[in-house]
Structure 1
C-alpha cells in the first residue's frame, strides 16, 4: 500500500481491468457515441481489450473526445507561448479555472499534439462521486483533491498531495496541472489562493521556499473562452453571495455543470503558456524573509501572468460597454457580435433583473478590467 493510493490515478497494470469494468456502463456508451458517432459499440468495446496504459486510453480515446468537443461546441482552439517550453521537461502548470473538465483536457490536447509531457491533473473528489466518473478520472490520470475534511485531516491530506505532486514532477518526470484556486472562478476575477501555494510548499523539506518553488518549474496558464457555456449556471451562487446567503448546491449540480461546460457553445478558445517562474523567485527571496510575504509575492506573479496573457475576446469589451453604458471599446467588436451577445444575455437571464444583469456582464467584463488595472501598475 502506498500513502498515495487514496488519491492517485490508475497504474498502467490496473487500466485494462478498470476499463472492462465500465465498458457496459450507460455513461461510457454515451461518451463513446459522442466520440465515435458512426462506430458500432462492439468496435470500441473490442478496442478496449487492447488498452493497457493510461497513455493508450488518452491517445486512442480521450484525445478524440476533446477534438469532438471542439468541433461541435467551439469555433476553434488557438495557443501561444508553448513554443518557449522544453518538450522533455515536466512543468507545474497553474491555471485560471473556468470549466471543470475542459481546462485541463484542452491543455493536455495541446501538450499531446505538441509532443510535450502530458499532465497528471488535480480534480476535487466531490466532482467524481458517481462510480463511472471516478473511474474515468483515474483512467485519465487525474489525482483527487479531498474536499470537506475536518481541519486536522485536511492538513494531512494537503501534506500527502504536496508530496505526491513533488514525486510526480521530480521522480516520475510527469507534468502536473492544478487550478490557481479551489473551485471555478464565478465572477471573472482570476486570483491565486495563497492556500494552494501553501499546500505546494509543504513538501519543500529542508529547501528554502523559493528554492523549492524553482524546482517545480511553475508555468502560469491563461485560459480564455469567448462564451462561458456555464455563465447562467454560475448566477445563483453569485446572487446568494450578493444577498449574504449560504449557497447549497443541488444534488446533481456538479454533473449538470460538467455536461454544460462540455456541450455548451464556447465559440473561440485560447490557451497561453506563460514564462517559467524562475529568476523572480530570487528577487522575492531577497525582498522578503517572511514565508507568507513570499507566498503573496509568488501569487501576484502568477496572477499578473494569467491576467496579462488572457485573450480578450469581443465579448469582454461588449460586456464592459453594456455594463458602463458606454461605447469606449466599440472598436473591438462589430454590431453583429454585440447583438448576438445581447441576445445571449436576454435568453439566459431575466434582463429586467438589474442585479443579475450586472453580475452577468461583470463576469465577462472583469478580465478586461483586471488587465487594464494590471497594465496601469506596470507603466
Structure 2
C-alpha cells in the first residue's frame, strides 16, 4: 500500500469505479448541464462511463467546464511567461491564491493548451468534507493537506505531504501546484509563508542543504490576477474582524458558498503570469546569504518579488488605489467609465458610513499596486 494512501489522487485504474459512484449525483448533473447545455444527460454520462484516466476526465469534462466558466463569467483569460517552461520538465509552481477552485483549474487549462504537464495540486481537507467533493477532488489530481491538527500530528502530516511533493516531482516527473500560504489571500497582500517552504524542504536528503533541494524542484512563481474578485464582498466579514482585532469564525458552508461564487461570479479579465525558474535566484542566495533562517527568508522574499512583479494590474487596482489615497496618481490607467463601474459596485456592497469597511475593501484591490510600486522603487534604489 502506498504511504500516500490518505492524501493522494486516484490512480488511473481507480478512475472508472470512482466515476460510477458519483455518476447520478445531482451536483455532477448540475456541473455537466452547465458544461454541455445543449446535450441530454445520456451524452455526458455515456462519455464519462467510458473514461479510464484522470487525464481523460480533465480533458473531456473539466477543461470544457473551465471554458464555459470563462465564457459566462469573464471577459477572457490572457497569459505571459509560459514560453519559459519545457514540455519534458516538471515544475513546483508556487502561486498566489485568490480563488478556491479556479486558480488551479485555469493554470491547468493553460498548461494543457500549451502541451505542458498538468499539475497535481494541493487542496485543504476543509474543502472536501462532502463525499462527492472528495471524489471530484481525487479525479482532478488533487492531493490533500490536512488542516487544524494538533502539533505532533501536524508534523507527521507535513512530512507526508512533503514526501508526496518530492515523489510527484522527482519520481513521477509530474508538476505540482501549491499556494504560497495556507488559505487564500483576502487583503491583496500576496506573501509567501515560510511555513510552506519549511514543509516542502522536509523531504530533502539527509545533510542536503535545503536550497540545493529547492533548485532540484524547479521552483516557478505564478501570479494570477482577476480584474474583479467575485468574492470580494464575501471576504469583508473576515477582513473587518481582522481590522478590529476580533476572532473570525467561518459560517456554516461558507467555503462552499465562496467556491460557487468564485466560479459563477463576474471576474471581467483574468491574467496568469509564469515567473522565472528560480534556479539562478537560489544560487545567488547561496552565495550572498548565510544561515538557514536568513536563507529561508530570502527565498520567501524572492518568490514574493516574482509574484508581485508578475501580477497584472487591472484598472480596478489603480482606481482603488486612487480612491484609497484620495488622489489621481494613476488616472491615466483607467477611464471615467471604468471608475464609475467600480464605484457603483463598491457603494452597493460596502457600508459608506463605515470607514474601516471602506478602507478594507479598497485595500483589497489597491495593495497589489502599493506592493508592486514599493518593490520597483527598492530595485531602482539598488541600481
Normalised by the length of structure 2, the TM-score is 0.98
CA distance in 2, matches of 1:267, 1:46: 34
User: Mapping of 1:122-201 within 5 angstroms?
Assistant: 122-201=122-201
CA distance in 2, matches of 1:167, 1:228: 34
User: Mapping of 1:90-129 within 5 angstroms?
Assistant: 90-129=90-129
Q: Where does structure 2 lack aligned partners over 5 or more consecutive residues?
A: none
Which has the larger displacement, 142-151 or 239-248?
Answer: 239-248
Q: How far off its partner does 1:72 sit?
A: 0.3
Residue equivalent to 1:258: 259
What RMSD over aligned residues (CA atoms) do the two structures have, in Å? 0.8
CA distance in 1, matches of 2:210, 2:356: 43
User: Mapping of 1:206-245 within 5 angstroms?
Assistant: 206=206, 207-245=208-246
SS of 1:87's partner is: coil
Structure 1 residues 130-165: Cα deviation after superposition (integer angstroms, max 9, x where no partner): 111111000000000010111000000000000100
Q: How far off its partner does 1:287 sit?
A: 2.8
Residue equivalent to 1:57: 57
Q: How far off its partner does 1:16 sit?
A: 0.4
Residue equivalent to 2:363: 362
CA distance in 1, matches of 2:293, 2:233: 36
Q: How far off its partner does 1:289 sit?
A: 3.5
Q: How far off its partner does 1:88 sit?
A: 1.3
Residue equivalent to 2:250: 249
Residue equivalent to 2:80: 80
Residue equivalent to 1:39: 39
Q: Which stretches of structure 1, 4 residues or longer, exceed 6 Å deviation after superposition? A: none
CA distance in 2, matches of 1:282, 1:41: 54
CA distance in 2, matches of 1:117, 1:241: 39
Q: How far off its partner does 1:351 sit?
A: 2.0
Residue equivalent to 2:285: 284
CA distance in 1, matches of 2:349, 2:69: 22
CA distance in 2, matches of 1:107, 1:150: 33
Normalised by the length of structure 1, the TM-score is 0.99
Structure 1 residues 90-149: Cα deviation after superposition (integer angstroms, max 9, x where no partner): 100000000000110000000000000110000000011111111100000000001011
Question: Is 1:271 matched up with 2:277?
Answer: no
CA distance in 2, matches of 1:3, 1:167: 11
Q: How far off its partner does 1:335 sit?
A: 0.2
CA distance in 1, matches of 2:287, 2:372: 28
SS of 1:271's partner is: strand
CA distance in 2, matches of 1:307, 1:41: 44
SS of 2:250's partner is: coil
Residue equivalent to 1:322: 323
Residue equivalent to 1:336: 337
SS of 1:341's partner is: helix
Residue equivalent to 1:15: 15
Q: Where does structure 1 lack aligned partners over 5 or more consecutive residues?
A: none
